[in-house]
């Protein structure tokens, strides 16, 4: 258990993020192909989403760091003002590349 007031965050490596995005896209395409056999409009939706998502997600920068409450690794979109830790359910404020705790 860490008790620091704030922790520093860094940008998620864009190459690593791109690979994750491509995997997400391939996964969505897979679901789309599956749906093509039972309900094709839904299949088309997933395939298009799967093809477009990696490019859209590439332009959304994510910050990664440790939760100032419990130390759990958290990832948040840089445009978001805050995030709730998935591990300890406590509120975290994102400010100037740092995660600040809110008590
Ligand atoms: Zn936490």
Q: How far is the CA of 22 from the centre of ligand 1 (A)?
A: 28
Q: How far is the CA of 89 from the centre of ligand 1 (A)?
A: 6
Buried b (16+ CB within 10 A) or exposed e, 38-75: eeeeebeebbebbeebbeebeeeebbbbbbbbbbeebe
Q: How far is the CA of 35 from the centre of ligand 1 (A)?
A: 37
Name, in order, each residue with C-beta under 8 angstroms of 90's C-beta and a sequence gap of 6 or more: 67, 69, 70, 84, 101, 102
pLDDT tier for residue 79 given thresholds of 50, 70 and 90: confident
Q: Is the pTM of this model over 0.85?
A: no
On the question of pLDDT at 34 being above 90, the answer is no
Q: How far is the CA of 34 from the centre of ligand 1 (A)?
A: 37
Q: How far is the CA of 72 from the centre of ligand 1 (A)?
A: 5
Q: Please state the domain extents for the chain.
A: 6-101
pLDDT tier for residue 22 given thresholds of 50, 70 and 90: confident
């Amino acid at each position: 258990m860490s008790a620091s007031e704030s922790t520093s965050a860094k940008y998620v490596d864009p190459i690593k993020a791109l690979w994750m995005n491509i995997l997400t896209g391939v996964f969505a395409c897979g679901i789309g192909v599956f749906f093509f056999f039972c309900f094709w409009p839904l299949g088309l939706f997933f395939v298009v989403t799967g093809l477009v998502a990696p490019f859209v997600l590439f332009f959304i920068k994510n910050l990664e760091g440790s939760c100032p409450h419990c130390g759990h690794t958290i990832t948040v979109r840089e445009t978001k003002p805050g995030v709730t830790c998935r591990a300890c359910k406590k509120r975290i404020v994102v400010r100037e590349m740092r995660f600040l705790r809110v008590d």
